[in-house]
Structure 1
Amino acid sequence: MSASDQPPPLPSPFPWLAVGLALLVGAAGWEVACRLSGQREAWDAPAYWRLAYPAFAVAALALAYAWPRSAWFTWAALAVGQALAMFAKNPGGNLLPLGVIVMLVLSAPLLIAGRFGARLRAGRRRP
């Protein structure tokens, strides 16, 4: 069988591991910032902006580097992980839908970090 007779490679499966890790990092970062500051919502705490948010950017970059096609999914999963942790702390919040929208907007720079990680990976594959 020659190389031209071989079937094309199957598309890679959905990066469930990348999404799962991003959900975990998002929820853990939210919880750690809350515990360090004693705040009910992490984004009210300096620890969120000084520790958790930079960790989210590093995670987005690293996950997109490992799974280059997952930059979009990992960005959203980081935001959803934070939203799940926020909801777990305050399940009866009447502003929860607005909080999720704000979380997605605040997490938009993480998409840029993820795209950068994917481009770094693509640049390494070139001869």
Structure 2
Amino acid sequence: MTTRWIQPLMLLLVSLLYWQFVSHVSGAKEPWDADGYWRIWYPGSLVLSALSGFMLRRRGWLGGMIVTFAQLPVMWVNAGTGGLLMAGATILCILAVPAFAFSTIGGRLARSCADGGKTDGAV
């Protein structure tokens, strides 16, 4: 395994622990059924996405995807495989859009800071 994959794997582990913590604290089997999901836990995941984007830099966009989709294995372990697993995956695709944006912005900010604020216009 190359060092290129260590950061995303560590982020996956942190994200899995985050969503399992959400389920454990709230008593909900699925993180999005937790009390305060929309007020506390989902916004917290967006902050985690932005921070992960900053850490991953060029691959910053990947951070939001990892953080959001880490809910799926937590739901699978806690609630089992049900007929709604595909519906859950579809909902996660929608929830991943803002996380993708936050992590992409975090990655761009990190690159901008590393370049001393100079940009060459490249995206």
Indicate whether the TM-score tops 0.5: yes
- Extract unaligned runs of 5+ from structure 1: 1-12
Runs of 4+ aligned residues of structure 1 deviating over 3 Å after TM superposition are none
**C-alpha displacement of 1:49:** 2.5
Identity among equivalent pairs (%):
26
Is 1:121 paired with 2:110? Answer: yes
Matched with 1:79 is: 68
8 Å Cα contact 2:62/2:100 also seen in 1:
no
Q: How many residues align?
A: 115
RMSD: 2.0
Distance 1:60 1:107, change over 3 A: same
| TM-score normalised by the chain length of structure 2 | 0.78
Residue type at the aligned position of 1:93 = G
Q: Aligned partners of 1:55, 1:25: CA distance in 2, in Å? A: 13
Which of 1 and 2 has greater Rg?
Answer: 1
Please identify, of 88-97 and 40-49, the stretch whose mean Cα deviation from structure 2 is larger: 40-49
Is 1:68 paired with 2:57? Answer: yes
8 Å Cα contact 2:56/2:63 also seen in 1:
no
Please identify, of 86-95 and 72-81, the stretch whose mean Cα deviation from structure 2 is larger: 72-81
- Extract unaligned runs of 5+ from structure 2: 119-123
Matched with 2:121 is: none
Q: Aligned partners of 1:84, 1:103: CA distance in 2, in Å? A: 12
